[in-house]
């Protein structure tokens, strides 16, 4: 396996593409919740499979989260989006979504699915649109509820050694809602993506 890497120009380009996509996703979330989403600068990194937890900020690791994962694929480029949703966020989310039912594990799962549909869908679509790739999305999979973020990222016998990770940290203004969206591409997708990126950079 040749060593996959990205140049500084490519990294910058990925960051900008993510920035635009996350903005589109935030816009949809903002409309859904009628609130303002604070947008940071997305983090783009090549990471080793052993350090998947490095993809998220240190402050986030020791946090109880619920997590959903969803695959996407288009034009031979594939990856997975992972949404880590802080458990402390559910109460405010329920209020914003007008959720009436009891806020137990099932209630939380409902809310989690609603938010992840919007955030993951819009973000993946946004990146695809800029690259002129139509991504099909697989069905979401719940990775865990009330787990430590670190444990979720650590588990799993990964089939790759090094790949591209994009981390987007969403917070909402004035309310306690906090989540992390992580996009990971498969190794061979990175090679193809880099070609598309180089074309854009030309």
Partner 1 sequence: MATNVLICDDSSFARKQMKRALPEGWDVEVHFAGDGVEGVEAIRAGKGEVVFLDLTMPNLDGYGVLEAIRREDLPAMVIVVSGDIQPDAQERVRKLGAMAFIKKPIDQEKARAVLTEYGILTGA
Partner 2 sequence: MKDPNIEFGDIHWLMDILQNIDVGLVVLDRDYRIQLWNGFMESHSGISPQNAKEQVLFDLFDEIPRDWFMQKAEPVFQLKTRTFTIWEQRPYLFKFKNYRPITGRAAIMYQNTSMIPLESIDRSVDHICLIIYDVTDIAVNRNDVISANQSLRELHQYDHLTELYNRPHWEPKFADEFRRSQRNGRASALVLIDVDDFRLVNANYGHQAGDEVLRTLAGALRQTLRQTDHACRFTGETFAVMLVDTDAQQAVHFAERIRKDVETMSIIAPGHELSVTVSIGVAASQPAFDSPAQWQQAASKALNHAKEGGRNRTTLYQHHS
Q: Which does 64 bind (CB under 5 to 8 A by kind): partner 1, partner 2, none?
A: partner 2
CA 40/CA 54 separation, integer angstroms: 18
Contact between 198 and partner 1 by CB under 8 A: the answer reads no
158 contact partners, CB below 8 Å, separation of at least 6 = 49, 52
Estimate the crossing angle of helix 8-33 against helix 105-131, to 10 degrees. 130
The binder of partner 2 chosen from 38, 41, 113, 201 (CB under 8 A): 113
The SS3 call for residue 158 is: coil
The binder of partner 2 chosen from 44, 66, 140, 169 (CB under 8 A): 140
As measured in angstroms, the least distance from the Cβ of 41 to partner 2 is: 24
Element (H, E) at 199: helix 187-201
Q: Which is nearer to partner 2, 110 or 188 (CB)?
A: 110
The binder of partner 1 chosen from 7, 41, 138, 146 (CB under 8 A): 41
CA 34/CA 96 separation, integer angstroms: 8
Q: Which does 23 bind (CB under 5 to 8 A by kind): partner 2, partner 1, none?
A: partner 1
Which parts of 5-64 interact with partner 2 (CB under 8 A)?
28, 31-32, 62-64
Contact between 158 and partner 2 by CB under 8 A: the answer reads no
* Per-residue exposure over 36-60, b if at least 16 CB sit within 10 Å of its own CB, e if not: ebebeebbbeebeeeebbebbeeeb
Helix/strand/coil (H, E, C) string of 20-53? HHHHHHHHHHHHHHCCCEECCCCEEEEEEHHHHH
The binder of partner 2 chosen from 46, 47, 54, 118 (CB under 8 A): 118
Residues of this chain that interact with partner 2 (CB under 8 A) are 28, 31-32, 62-64, 70, 87-88, 91, 97, 103, 105-106, 109-110, 113-114, 117-118, 121-122, 125, 137, 139-142, 146
């Amino acid at each position: 396996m040749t060593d996959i890497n990205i140049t500084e120009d490519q990294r910058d380009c990925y960051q900008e593409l993510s920035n635009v996509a996350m903005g589109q996703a935030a816009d949809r979330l903002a409309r859904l919740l009628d609130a303002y989403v604070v947008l940071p600068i997305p983090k783009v990194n090549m990471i080793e499979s052993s350090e998947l937890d490095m993809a998220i900020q240190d402050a986030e690791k020791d946090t109880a989260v619920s997590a959903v994962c969803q695959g996407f694929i288009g034009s031979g480029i594939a990856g997975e989006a992972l949404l880590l949703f802080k458990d402390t966020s559910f109460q405010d989310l329920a209020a914003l979504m007008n959720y009436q039912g009891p806020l137990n594990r099932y209630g939380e799962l409902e809310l989690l699915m609603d938010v992840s549909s919007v955030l993951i869908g819009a973000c993946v679509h946004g990146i695809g649109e800029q690259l002129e790739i139509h991504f099909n999305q697989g069905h979401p999979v719940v990775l865990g509820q009330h787990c430590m973020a670190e444990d979720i990222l650590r588990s799993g016998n990964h089939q790759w050694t090094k790949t591209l990770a994009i981390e987007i940290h969403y917070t909402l203004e004035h309310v306690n809602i906090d989540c992390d969206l992580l996009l990971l591409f498969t190794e061979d997708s990175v090679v193809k993506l880099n070609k598309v990126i180089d074309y854009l950079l030309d």
